[in-house]
Amino acid sequence: MSRRAGATNAGQDETNVKPQDNSQQKQVMLLAQDTGHFSMIRALHLADLITEMNGFCGFMSVLSSMRYCLSDPQDLTNLWFAFFFMPFGLFFDFFDGKVARWRKKSSLMGQELDSLADLVSFGVAPAALGFAIGFRSTVDTLFLSYYVLCGLTRLARFNVTVAMLPKDKTGKSKYFEGTPIPFACLTGSAIMATFASMGLIHNSIPLGTVLTGTALEFHPVAAMWFVLGSLQISKTLHVPKP
């Protein structure tokens, strides 16, 4: 989950806000330029480029899951590649906020980039992995879709409400509303990685299926995506920020 927004929101003294406002104005000016094919690239901060790496890791995870679906199900190489990229996405998600605060250069564009990268890395990528290991019935895919949509909604809510959340002395929000999407992703991915390491995928997924052979057939384990999605959009669940 983005930690970059706190660097630009209320809760800071005036001396901290002015340089960041100037940085944002400069970025907006560069983005609004009509000339120059690469003016947008020049507008990016170092933290933004790190965020792009988060999105890259998420895409590579999705791509590896797709490759696994098209290959021999007994060859788990691409499946493990999909798992491999997830912690790197989490590293870049954490590191971009550190760099933004260290350089005192954060932006609204960076905040949006962060949310979009998180959606790919921690929303779409684990759902693609879930499909790859065997959650493929109609109801299973509805659970996966629900998880992704909850992640999308949770990230949008964060961008809208982050300025109104209580802040500490550094300007960071004191807590998350609902569980952060990286937590949901890592929880679901850890369970799937355990299944894969034990060979419990496809027809061997624990607890088997319910309503087998009907249009409502599903894996009871797939309901974890419903739980993880619901925890993200909770309004009353407050998770303290580290």
Q: What is the pLDDT of residue 123?
A: 97
Question: Residue 80's domain spans which residues?
Answer: 42-164+174-239
Instruction: With respect to residue 225, please indicate whether it lies within any of the assigned structural domains.
Output: yes
Q: How many domains does the chain have?
A: 1
13 pLDDT exceeds 60? no
Region of 134 on the Ramachandran plot (φ > 0 left; ψ -120 to 50 alpha; else beta): left
Write the CATH number for 82. Answer: 1.20.120.1760
Which segment of 21-35, 111-125, 133-147 scores lowest on mean pLDDT?
21-35
What percentage of residues in the chain have a pLDDT greater than 90? 57
Is residue 83 a part of any domain in this protein? yes
Cβ-contact 47, 110 below 8 angstroms: yes
What are 149's two structure tokens? 């949509």
Please state, rounded to an integer, the average pLDDT across all residues of the chain: 84
Domain membership of residue 234 (yes or no) is yes
Q: Report yes or no on 63 lying in a domain.
A: yes
What is the per-residue pLDDT across 143-158, written as a single tens digit (0 to 9) for each? 999 999 999 999 998 8
Question: Does some domain include residue 228?
Answer: yes
Residue 11 lies in a domain: no
| Percentage with pLDDT > 70 across the chain | 77
Averaged pLDDT, 61-73: 96
148 in a structural domain: yes
In this prediction, residue 8 carries a pLDDT of 44
